[in-house]
Amino acid sequence: MFLARQYGYRVTGIDFSPRVPSVVPAFLAQGIKADLVQADFFTWTPSAQFDVVCSFGFIQFFGNFRLAITRHWELVKPGGTLVMTVPALTPFQWLVRRITYQPDKFRRVIAAHNSAVMRLSVLRQEVERCPEARILFAEYIREMTLWFEGYDAEMLPWAPAILVATRPFVRAARRLRLSSRWFSPEILLVARKEREADQ
């Protein structure tokens, strides 16, 4: 929604969920007309490529993340931009989950993600493999933010106390605007698809 409001982009969205039509009113409430499609991302054929393709927290769910990245890249028109975020399984993020989740939940969360692509070096390398790709930005972001609270039924009894103990460090990283491969929760990558004339 931000990009549509800020830059006047026409929005096209795709999701496999049958609940896609229920999202349309949220866009309309913001004054944005969105063409939302319920389809398989890998087989969907749009009528044209896009100026900007955004993907937030998606590719890490696939065993073949290279195919997922390639598919995103195919949707970007020459001169266009890919904006992609992936959760980062940095040591701090891994450790906090390991000592606060019940073992079964921890195993399920880890198994549901392809941790290989949740590292900046791997994500960057895979996007650089794409034809005419030029990386504009690739960094760990969001300081030391934690995405969860300690009140889930599948958390260990001491989880709230551990999360409270992390708060001073989280606040300090936020104040310093400090992100790192050791503790940050997310990776942001922005790449441009160069036109042949630009090379």
Q: Which CATH class is domain 52-198?
A: alpha beta
C-alpha span between 91 and 13 (Å, rounded): 33
Confidence (pLDDT) at 199 = 52
Mean pLDDT value across residues 164-169: 94
Backbone φ and ψ for 153, nearest 5 degrees, come out as -60, -20
* C-alpha distance from residue 57 to each of 29, 68, 104, 146 (Å): 24, 12, 23, 15
Calculate what percentage of the chain has a pLDDT beyond 90: 74
Confidence (pLDDT) at 83 = 97
Mean pLDDT value across residues 23-39: 85
- pLDDT exceeds 90 at position 95: yes
CATH 3.40.50.150 domain residues, the chain: 52-198
- pLDDT exceeds 80 at position 2: no
Confidence (pLDDT) at 176 = 97
Mean pLDDT value across residues 21-35: 83
Given a contact cutoff of 8 angstroms between Cβ atoms, the answer to whether 30 and 5 are in contact is: yes
SS3 of 62, please?
coil
- pTM, whole model, 2 decimals? 0.90
- pLDDT exceeds 90 at position 147: no
Using only C-alpha atoms, what is the Rg of the chain? Answer: 19
Mean pLDDT value across residues 136-160: 91
Given a contact cutoff of 8 angstroms between Cβ atoms, the answer to whether 193 and 77 are in contact is: yes
Mean pLDDT value across residues 63-90: 96
Confidence (pLDDT) at 168 = 96
